[in-house]
Structure 1
Amino acid sequence: MKYMLIMRTTDEAAQSMADFDFTEMLETVGKFNDELIRAGVLVAAEGLDDAGDSVIVDYSSEPPVITDGPYGETKELFNGFYILNVSSKQEAVEWATRMPSFGAGFKTEIRRVPTIDEFPQDNEWIRRELAWREATGQL
């Protein structure tokens, strides 16, 4: 089963990261990533750029409204993710508890990533996506 570990932080916590030595931070995160790789559970992992540089597409009107981000009044920002292929939600939780944190204001949300075979296999769009995944080596 795949689970996404969504890294979240408050604005204040993100600002406090500027106080950390970047090389030390890379080493700490790198060691955790290496554990995930050696365990064979890492599928993907990425950090995100500053939310202040984001763009929001709001579909509540026609045409959609495009504004500079971050979205509305933020208390927490999504600033990166891991996708792990593990045997259970509990295993995903265990990995999340080992994830490096850089102080108060950091949280991780864990959500299962459904597989394509959970969708109706007789649907034309699902068949097309399956064909694309097979052609690109993703199956």
Structure 2
Amino acid sequence: MRVIVMVKATAASEAGEMPSEKLLADMGRFNEELVKAGIMLAGEGLHPSSRGARVRFSGSKRAVVDGPFAETKELVAGFWLWEVSSMEEAIEWVKRCPNPFEGDIESEIEIRPVFEAEDFGAEYTPELREQEERLREQITARHVKS
């Protein structure tokens, strides 16, 4: 199963405070463990929401809302995409993770399963599955060339 592992933002990350060399090294070692275990598919840190935007949908209308966004605890500061055997395995890996923020800052990491094709049922027709597979192949081919 694939899971997205989201590091929740803090006031410090939203203020643009960068991690120390020690924290970057600790996270680098943790990422190496994930890669060696065959779990990590992707992972990145995100800039503060002040550098982002949201597009709000209301029927056929679209409205762009520029950051920053008020609810820091609801924002994401970074993420991993992992392939694990179970939610329990993902939880065990997160428990081994260095605290993503230094000092006495309380932080949180959220784990959520990624939808797989079989989760969508009959509505996900063979034609839609074929289209999805074609798109994934194109993405992979594009990244192999880079």
Q: Counterparts of 2:47 and 2:98 in 1: how far apart (Å)?
A: 19
Cα distance change on mapping 1:61 and 1:70 into 2, 3 Å: farther
With 29-38 and 126-135 compared, the bigger mean Cα shift is at 126-135
- Alpha-carbon offset, residue 89 of structure 1: 0.3
C-alpha separation in 2, matches of 1:133 and 1:20:
34
Quote how far apart the aligned CAs of 1:117 are.
3.7
Percent identity between the two aligned chains: 31
Change (3 A) 1:122 1:60: closer
Q: Which runs of 5+ in 2 are unaligned?
A: 142-146
Q: What SS does the corresponding residue of 1:125 show, helix, strand or coil?
A: helix
Q: Report the equivalent of 1:107.
A: 108
Aligned length: 135
Mapped partners of 1:96, 1:17: distance in 2 = 24
Distance 1:136 1:59 in 2: 27
1:135 Cα deviation from its structure 2 partner:
4.8
Alpha-carbon offset, residue 33 of structure 1: 0.3
The 1:17–1:27 alpha-carbon spacing in structure 2 relative to 1, beyond 3 Å, is: farther
CA RMSD of aligned residues (A): 2.4
- Give the counterpart of 1:97 among 80, 95, 98: 95
> How does the TM-score come out when normalised to structure 1?
0.82
Whether the 8 Å contact between 2:15 and 2:48 is mirrored in structure 1 is no
Which letter does structure 2 place at the counterpart of 1:105? E
Specify the alignment match of 1:74 in structure 2: 71
Aligned to 2:130: 127
- The counterpart of 2:23, out of the listed 22, 25, 28, is 25
Q: Deviations over 1:44-69 (max 9, x none)?
A: 11111121110111113642111211
Q: Is the 8 A contact 2:3 2:112 kept in 1?
A: yes
CA distance in 2, matches of 1:122, 1:15: 42
The equivalent residue for 1:88 is 86
Q: How has the CA–CA distance of structure 1 residues 16 and 104 changed in structure 2, closer, same or farther, with 3 Å as cutoff?
A: farther
